[in-house]
Amino acid sequence: MLKAGIVGLPNVGKSTLFNALIRAHKAPAENYPFCTIEPNLGVVAVPDDRLEQIARVVGVGRRVPATIEFIDIAGLVKGAAQGEGLGNKFLSHIREVDALVHVVRCFEDPDIHHVTGSIDPVRDIEIVTAELILADLETLHRRQEKIARDVKRGDAHALQEEQLIKKLTAHLQSGKPAIALHLYPEERAVTRHFFLLTDKPTLFAANLKENELAGAAEHPQVRRVAEYARAHHGCDTVPIAAQLESDLVDLTAEEAAEYLQALGVTESGVARLIRQTYQLLGLRTFFTFNQEEARAWTITAGDTAPKAAGTIHSDFEKGFIKAEVVPWQDLVHCGSVAAAREKGHYRIEGREYVVRDGDVILFKFNA
């Protein structure tokens, strides 16, 4: 399972957000730096209204959603690349995840300590990014030393690596993350093996107070974060109220919805964050159903029908014959499987078919 790591400075709301994501109070979320030391892990259901609609149409009561894993990582401080704070331990935990959710504090509260003494989310982003860049520069330096002998004897692959190391080093030294550097697909295939921290896809979570959530789009600090994230990291920003979302864990789904509505909020920020992280990881969903349940399955964008079948059972992939496919919208619009078949929305696809997000599939295979 692919993992998303929650990162940021100490005391910005990372553990509070993690508790909201997993709908439990698993991670300590106290008002002091390094409240989290060892990372907390949690498997999170992906909110998907399509699953609910499909279940109603096919008449089953059980819904099984897709899931992703989030990891709450200890806060980073200036100097982490040189071992400050939890230093190398923090950086090693980041290396193990596939994407980053970078939490930045956008709210004022004199009762909650900020490690820098003031609220400036762009400065906070730059502190974290600078430490990750320093770690990446050290990684590239070690890699260059390792291939030096092969470069001297003219090894083609080593020469290609050296060229890319120089290109990446210059880019990082300008203060930009590796993921923002334009590379051709063949170059990206090489640099992927460098395992650079700033080469991980990133999503920013702008943490607000609950009374600021309804007007988040116009909040000056959120706008600063969103503009900076897009310009310097090429990524999106999701406004959240981590404390509010963590408090809602103790309410029923209906009570939580009513509370959000009273605040003027139509959707949980955490629900949006989960869905966008799922997309960020390059994950897509297809659906199946039987007499008992409707289920969402996770695949990687670009997976073919046999590969998707293999997520259900390896025998499905080995003995794959064909897939009966209907887009979820057509199934729901028709109101029943019979009507969708009658109107020609079901189609037969073979081994080369690339599964689309939202496909409802019945696989045929040899046992």
pLDDT in tens, 2-58: 899 999 998 899 989 999 998 876 654 444 444 445 678 999 999 999 999 999 999
- For residue 69, is it within any domain? yes
pLDDT category of residue 336 using cuts at 50, 70 and 90:
very high
Residues 314 and 273 in one domain: no
Q: At a CB cut-off of 8 Å and minimum separation 6, what does 5 contact?
A: 39, 70, 71, 73, 93, 94, 96, 97, 99, 100, 101
Residues 311 and 274 in one domain: no
80: containing domain: 3-280
pLDDT category of residue 268 using cuts at 50, 70 and 90:
confident
| Integer Rg of the chain from CA | 23
pLDDT of 76 reads 73
* Tens digits of residue pLDDT in 176-195: 999 999 999 999 999 999 99
- For residue 236, is it within any domain? yes
Average pLDDT estimate for 242-247? 91
pLDDT at 140 over 70: yes
**Predicted structure pTM score:** 0.88
Buried b (16+ CB within 10 A) or exposed e, 289-322: beeeebbbbbbeeebbbbbbbbbbeeebbeebee
- For residue 88, is it within any domain? yes
Residues 222 and 275 in one domain: yes
pLDDT of 319 reads 96
Residues 273 and 330 in one domain: no
pLDDT of 294 reads 97
- Final residue belonging to a domain, choices 224, 246, 280: 280
pLDDT category of residue 1 using cuts at 50, 70 and 90:
confident
Lowest mean pLDDT among 110-114, 142-146, 320-324: 110-114
Domains identified in the chain, total number: 2
Average pLDDT estimate for 166-174? 97
Residues 154 and 15 in one domain: yes
pLDDT of 229 reads 96
Residues 164 and 196 in one domain: yes
Percent of the chain predicted with pLDDT > 90: 76
**Assigned token pair, 169:** 């080093």
Average pLDDT estimate for 304-324? 96
- For residue 199, is it within any domain? yes
pLDDT of 84 reads 47
pLDDT of 234 reads 92
* Tens digits of residue pLDDT in 189-222: 999 999 999 999 999 999 999 999 999 989 999 9
Residues 210 and 77 in one domain: yes
Residues 306 and 259 in one domain: no
Q: What is the DSSP string of 168-219?
A: HHHHHHTT--GGGS---HHHHHHHGGG--GGGS-EEEEEE--GGGSTTGGG-
pLDDT category of residue 77 using cuts at 50, 70 and 90:
low
- For residue 77, the SS3 value is coil
pLDDT of 74 reads 77
Question: What is the domain-level CATH number for residue 319?
Answer: 3.10.20.30
Name the residue with tokens 């439990």. Answer: 24
- For residue 288, is it within any domain? no
pLDDT at 173 over 90: yes
pLDDT winner (highest mean) among 21-30, 86-95, 337-346: 337-346
Residues 271 and 311 in one domain: no
pLDDT of 11 reads 85
Residues 26 and 155 in one domain: yes
pLDDT of 222 reads 96
- For residue 50, is it within any domain? yes
pLDDT category of residue 253 using cuts at 50, 70 and 90:
confident
- For residue 359, is it within any domain? yes
- Final residue belonging to a domain, choices 247, 280, 313: 280
- For residue 128, is it within any domain? yes
Name the residue with tokens 């030393």. Answer: 145
Residues 230 and 308 in one domain: no
What does the angle CA 272 – CA 73 – CA 19 come to, to the nearest 5 degrees?
Answer: 50
Average confidence score pLDDT of the chain: 90
Residues 266 and 308 in one domain: no
Question: What is the domain-level CATH number for residue 211?
Answer: 3.40.50.300
Residues 58, 65: Cα–Cα separation, whole Å: 16
pLDDT of 36 reads 47
| 150 class by beta-carbon count within 10 Å (0-12 exposed, 13-18 middle, 19+ buried) | middle
